Amino acid sequence: MKPKLLVARPIFQSVIESLSKKFEVTSNQADTPWTPEAWQQAIAHHDAALTTGSDPINANVLGAQPRLKIAANMAVGFNNFDVPAMTAVGVTATNTPDVLTETTADFGFALIMATARRMAESEHYLRAGHWKQWRYDMFAGAEVHGSTLGILGMGRIGQAIARRGALGFGMKVIYHNRSKLDATTEAECKASYVDKETLLKTSDHLVLVLPYSAASHHAIGASEIAQMKPTATLVNIARGGIVDDAALAVALKNKQIAAAGLDVFEGEPSVHPDLLKVSNVVLTPHIASSTVKTRLAMAQLAADNIASFFSNGKALTPLNQMAVK
Ligand code: DGY
């Protein structure tokens, strides 16, 4: 009998078709929202789940002796998984590192550019028919080239953004991270380690690329924003909850910093209503990894993790080390 696989959200048809050769697939291609009860029931009846970053796998969902053996997240971030709880009941967890690094870094850089150069704000102005004549100071923004790029969280994506900034835009790159990079990687990225306070005070453009956890909750709140330059910009492509969105909306309204670019939000897809009211913020709906090629690679890696787990007992990119149940 084929193992039963739940695909929680719509994914590429070609991936579903190849999975169907090895698994009895139940797929939510209609994207029907899961109630907590329906989600728990669905998980209880499957051997494997291909999830996205919005599908929780935790002790409550799993119960004491789950049928589930593996949950493969189609995301590099995995704060929707309680990995220790999964490990405790023998469920393998996987994510999709590497395949999205460069694409996500491209988007992070695009958001830095759009935020510094006021692209969304000026486009809205033009569309609204307000553009009557050229002016010397019209939407004057901040320089990107030659400025100081600060990066909070220096994993693969942070490093890819650093390379873009240093090599492509001649930026001075500083970073803060739980651990300092080795000297070779620092040299490759042309990045220097600083403490968080220096990062906040010195960056012209600060980009957040750290994973979400209880420790990084509101890593950027009112007091951190207060330390930033009034001309600085802030970009969040990491996870909602790392920034205190309410505090940021106040700071943007009061021009405590120049502007922000946000791809992720606390409680998304809801967006703090005060962020929608300020013009000096670029808002995008969690699309940093969204190119056709990369999203396909992410779906394929999640599928390959499940296939590999069932064929030889080993997932390709595991977050925990589990014996096959
Ligand atoms: C990721 O891969 O973590 C992206 O944010 C998509 O969820």
Distance of CA 294 to the CA centre of its chain: 14
Q: What is the pTM of this model?
A: 0.96
Q: ∠ at Cα 108 (93, 82), nearest 5°?
A: 20
pLDDT at 88: 95
pLDDT value at 82 more than 60? yes
Nearest to 70 by CA among 52, 86, 55, 92: 92
Q: How confident is the model at residue 322 (pLDDT cuts 50, 70, 90)?
A: low
Indicate if ligand 1 lies below 6 Å from the C-beta of 11.
Answer: no
| 166 alpha carbon – ligand 1 mean position (Å) | 25
> Contact 210/216 with Cβ under 8 angstroms?
yes
Q: Per-residue confidence at 325, pLDDT binned at 50, 70, 90? A: low
155 lines ligand 1 (CB under 6 A): no
Q: Is the CB of 157 under 6 A from ligand 1?
A: no
CA of 149 to the centre of ligand 1 (A): 23
**Mean pLDDT taken over the chain:** 97
Q: The domain 101-283 belongs to what CATH superfamily?
A: NAD(P)-binding Rossmann-like Domain (3.40.50.720)
pLDDT beyond 80 at 324:
no
CATH architecture of the domain with residue range 4-99+292-312: 3-Layer(aba) Sandwich (3.40)
Q: Ligand 1 test: best mutation among 289, 300, 305, most atoms within 8 Å of CB?
A: 289
pLDDT confidence tier of residue 252, bands split at 50, 70 and 90: very high
Ligand 1 centre to CA of 58 (Å) is 18
Task: Give the Cα separation of 58 and 80 in Å (integer).
Answer: 8
- Structure confidence at residue 321 (pLDDT): 75
Q: Where in the chain is the domain with CATH 3.40.50.720?
A: 4-99+292-312, 101-283
Which H, E and C letters describe 286-300, residue by residue? CCCCCCHHHHHHHHH
| Smallest CA separation from ligand 1 atom 6, residue | 75
Ligand 1 atom with least separation from CA of 100? 2
Task: Identify whether the C-beta of residue 208 lies closer than 8 Å to the C-beta of residue 200.
Answer: no
Compute the distance from residue 6 Cα to the ligand 1 centre, in Å.
19
pLDDT digits (tens, 9 = 90+) for 30-53: 999 999 999 999 999 999 999 999
What pLDDT is stored for residue 173 in this prediction? 98
Q: Which residues are marked as active site?
A: 239, 268, 286
Checking if the pLDDT of 299 tops 70, the result is yes
- Cα gap 265→71, rounded to integer Å: 24
Considering the chain, what percentage of its residues have pLDDT values greater than 70? 99
The response to whether residue 238 sits with its C-beta less than 6 Å from ligand 1 reads no
The residue contributing the CA closest to ligand 1 atom 2 is 75
pLDDT in tens, 136-179: 999 999 999 999 999 999 999 999 999 999 999 999 999 999 99
Ligand 1 within 6 A of CB of 242:
no
27 in contact with ligand 1, CB cutoff 6 A:
no
Q: How far is the CA of 262 from the centre of ligand 1 (A)?
A: 14
pLDDT at position 199: 99
Residues 68-92, mean pLDDT to the nearest whole number = 97
100 lines ligand 1 (CB under 6 A): yes
Rounded to an integer, what distance in angstroms lies between the CA atom of residue 6 and that of residue 42?
7
261 in contact with ligand 1, CB cutoff 6 A: no
- Distance from Cα 146 to the centre of ligand 1, integer Å: 30
Task: Identify the band that residue 300 occupies on the pLDDT scale cut at 50, 70 and 90.
Answer: very high
Encoded tokens for 268: 């998304």
